[in-house]
Every structure is written in structure tokens, then in C-alpha cells.
């Protein structure tokens, strides 16, 4: 196994079990290493620190073990097995009421670079590192062994998540047949477009927050902005909302939203959707009509270099929602930008409230669902920030 040595004084984060090694901390060049190769990391005094996958990028090693190991089939099976066992504690395995969950959450399961999502027996693998991608047949075989007779398909959806020079340009069906996928989440039905949908097909990380929206929705007029395929809308209808409106600029997303709402039978008569620019819809919609607004935009700040621009975007759209919502209404507002931390997001809400001239109380702080665990040594994994705010004049 090849070795990487760190510069003196650059080993502190690894000694605190952070799973990333940055290229600037390393001594020497990497010409002898291949993309995705397993390497051991040593400090300047040649003391072993960690084992991981090498990548020729700013994060040059993604650590999967802080003990010297032989990463063979049994090693990876044990790692995947621990992740599955955790989902069993959440009552997500073989749960007919919720047939969709995240099985492996990268660093949160000590498997950096690997995402595995379960859609009623259809499994989506998404690799964020070449090291994990090179193991895809291993993971396929492990999954088939752990879930005998339960897997309908295994689909690799990594062409958009690996580095552009990885030569992986197509997604691929690795096992079975991928037919139309319909799942249930806390009893709410959804069609899932694994091949063409965003991420792995659905934003599973919002499951717990969708449930909370449903609990608050009874008798309310609900507006779901950036609705995608209508996740929050379905829960609001099931929760007894008086009216639910869904808005997204994507006509395809609206088509999927309408299809999902149609599965709710007569409740769908309380729903209407709009393929419009969200900012324009907010500007043009009447004041004081909606009792509950869900604001779940795409990441406005994917990188720190655009953080200030992202903060401005979040502040402006939250201000407009605060100005428009009915007095005493609830605003569910989110940020999935890793460059925006919890303190930043709460400051954004503070600034928006001050500019809008509203009295705002924080009702609840929201996070990603429990099947998206966060490695305590990797705070960057806590990417989804949410607030339930009550807005008053």
C-alpha cells in the first residue's frame, strides 16, 4: 500500500479524526499515485494516521479508516452492514409505511464519497469519489447478499458527481430492471424519477421536515415554493390543509407534482400548481393570503467564493415571504448551501425580519432527516439548515 506523508504540524485535523486530507498539508508530489488508489497517511515522523482513497484534487485523501486495515470484501461488507443496522434502529428497513430512505450517507457513515438510497427495493448508488466508484461491483454484490430477493434494481447515478476528467459520462443499470418507481413516505405516496430526477431522484433528507409541515397544515392555506415534485405539498394535503399551491419554474417538476397529488384522490381538488419563477410569483401574489409558506430553494451558495451573493439571495427571498404571509403565519425556510452555516442562516432570517419590519419568533430549528447522520468529527456534513418562523406585524 502506497504512502502519503504530511508536512510537520499539518496532522492536527487527522488526529481529531476529520476524514479529509487537503493537498496543501501533504509533503511531496503525487506523480506515483493513481486516482482512487488506497493509500496510508503518515505524519512527518512516519507515524501512521489513517487509510483512505487518493484523489488528485484539493481534498487529496478521503479517509475511511483510522486503523491500519486491509480493505477487502469483508471490510466493506462490515461497513455497509453497520450502516444498514443503524437504519434498522430507525425502523426504516421493511417498513411498509416508509419505503424510501438513505442507506449510506458518506462521511456520516464513515464511507466518504458513497451515497446509497433505497426506493422500495430500487437501489441508487451515487459516487462522489473515484475510489468508491472503483468498488461499485463490490457494493452491488454486498447489497445483493444483505438483501436477498428484495432488490429490484441497482442503478449507478454518478456521471454528474465525479470529477469532470473521470471519464465516467453515463449512468448505468448494474442489476435488475428499473421500472416505474412508486414509494410511500410516512404513508404519503410519490412517484420517483430515478433516471431524470435531481440528486438520486428525491430529496429524502427533508422527510422529517415534511412530516412537521403536515402536522401544522390543518385548516391552513399552504404555499410550497421551489416545490420540485411536491413533497411538502403532499404532506400538507394529507395533514388537512384547506388549500395547497405549488410553485416551481420547471414545467417537468410541475407535471410530476400534479401526478403525485393525483394519487391523493379527492384531496387533489384542494391543490393547484404553477410553473412560474418563484421570485415573480412572490411579487405578484396577494398579501395576507397564505397561512403557511414553505421556502426550500436550491443552494444559492455552493462555494465560499459566492457566499456573500448567496446570503443576499436568501435574505431577499425570505424578506419577501415575510412581507406577504398572513399575520401570525408560519414560514418554513431552508438552506442546503454548505457555505452557509447555522449562524449565517439565523443572521439571514434576522436581517430579513428587520428589513421587512416584522416581529419574528423561532418556533423550531430543523435539520436533515435521521437517515442522513452527521459524523461528529465532520461538521461539514450538517448541511441542511431550517427554521420554522412565526411572522407577525
Length of the chain: 393
Domains and CATH numbers, the chain: 2-65 (2.30.130.10), 73-183 (3.30.750.80), 203-392 (3.40.50.150)
Lowest mean pLDDT among 62-66, 138-142, 335-339: 335-339
Residue 210: strand, helix, or coil: helix
Residue 139 has pLDDT above 80, yes or no: yes
Mean pLDDT, rounded, of the chain: 95
Residue 165 pLDDT class (50, 70, 90 cuts) = low
| CB-based burial, 76-95: b 16+ in 10 Å, e otherwise | bbebbeebbebbeeeebbee
Phi/psi region, residue 250 (left: phi>0; alpha: psi -120 to 50; beta: rest), is beta
Give the percent of the chain with pLDDT over 90. 91
At 219-245, the pLDDT tens digits run 999 999 999 999 999 999 999 999 999
Q: Which of 149, 158, 99, 100 is nearest to 125 (CA)?
A: 158
Task: Give the number of other CB atoms < 10 A from CB of residue 30.
Answer: 17
pLDDT the model gives residue 167: 76
> Which residues on neighbouring strands pair with residue 245, listed in sequence order?
223, 272
Residue 385 pLDDT class (50, 70, 90 cuts) = very high
Q: Do the bridges between strand 221-225 and strand 243-248 make them parallel or antiparallel, or are there none, so unpaired?
A: parallel
Q: What is the pTM of this model?
A: 0.94
pLDDT the model gives residue 130: 95
Residue 307 pLDDT class (50, 70, 90 cuts) = confident
Q: Do the bridges between strand 114-119 and strand 100-105 make them parallel or antiparallel, or are there none, so unpaired?
A: antiparallel
pLDDT the model gives residue 294: 98
**Dist. CA 218–CA 236, nearest whole Å:** 8
Q: What is the pLDDT averaged over residues 360-365?
A: 97
Amino acid at each position: 500500500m502506497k504512502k502519503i506523508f504530511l508536512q510537520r504540524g499539518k496532522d492536527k485535523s487527522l488526529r481529531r479524526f476529520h476524514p479529509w486530507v487537503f493537498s496543501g498539508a501533504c509533503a511531496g508530489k503525487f506523480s506515483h499515485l493513481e486516482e482512487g488508489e488506497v493509500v496510508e497517511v503518515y505524519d512527518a515522523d512516519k507515524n501512521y494516521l489513517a487509510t483512505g482513497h487518493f484523489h488528485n484534487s484539493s481534498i487529496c485523501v478521503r479517509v475511511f479508516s483510522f486503523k491500519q486495515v486491509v480493505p477487502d470484501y469483508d471490510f466493506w461488507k462490515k461497513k455497509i452492514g453497520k450502516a444498514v443496522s443503524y437504519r434498522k434502529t430507525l425502523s426504516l428497513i421493511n417498513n411498509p409505511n416508509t419505503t424510501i430512505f438513505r442507506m449510506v450517507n458518506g462521511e456520516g457513515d464513515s464511507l466518504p464519497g458513497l451515497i446509497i438510497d433505497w426506493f422500495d427495493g430500487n437501489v441508487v448508488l451515487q459516487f462522489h469519489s473515484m475510489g468508491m466508484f472503483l468498488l461499485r461491483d463490490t457494493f452491488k454484490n454486498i447489497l445483493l447478499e444483505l438483501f436477498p430477493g428484495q432488490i429490484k434494481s441497482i442503478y449507478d447515478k454518478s456521471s454528474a458527481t465525479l470529477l469532470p476528467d473521470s471519464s465516467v459520462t453515463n449512468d448505468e443499470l448494474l442489476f435488475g430492471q428499473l421500472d416505474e418507481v412508486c414509494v410511500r413516505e410516512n404513508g404519503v405516496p410519490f412517484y420517483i424519477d430515478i433516471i431524470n430526477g435531481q440528486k438520486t431522484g428525491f430529496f429524502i433528507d427533508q422527510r422529517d421536515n415534511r412530516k412537521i409541515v403536515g402536522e401544522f397544515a390543518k385548516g391552513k392555506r399552504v404555499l410550497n415554493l421551489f416545490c420540485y415534485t411536491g413533497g411538502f405539498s403532499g404532506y400538507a394535503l394529507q395533514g388537512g390543509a384547506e388549500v395547497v399551491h405549488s410553485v416551481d419554474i420547471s414545467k417537468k417538476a410541475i407535471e410530476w407534482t400534479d401526478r403525485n397529488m393525483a394519487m391523493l384522490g379527492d384531496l387533489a381538488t384542494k391543490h393547484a400548481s404553477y410553473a412560474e419563477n418563484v421570485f415573480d410569483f412572490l411579487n405578484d401574489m396577494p398579501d395576507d393570503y397564505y397561512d403557511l409558506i414553505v421556502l426550500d430553494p436550491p443552494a444559492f451558495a455552493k462555494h465560499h467564493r459566492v457566499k456573500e451573493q448567496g446570503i443576499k439571495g436568501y435574505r431577499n427571498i425570505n424578506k419577501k415571504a415575510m412581507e406577504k404571509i398572513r399575520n401570525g403565519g408560519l414560514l418554513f425556510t431552508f438552506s442546503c448551501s454548505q457555505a452557509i452555516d447555522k449562524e449565517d442562516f439565523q443572521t439571514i432570517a434576522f436581517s430579513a425580519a428587520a428589513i421587512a419590519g416584522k416581529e419574528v419568533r423561532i418556533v423550531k430549528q430543523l435539520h436533515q432527516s435521521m437517515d442522513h447522520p452527521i459524523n461528529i468529527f465532520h461538521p461539514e456534513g450538517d448541511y441542511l439548515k431550517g427554521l420554522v418562523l412565526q411572522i407577525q406585524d
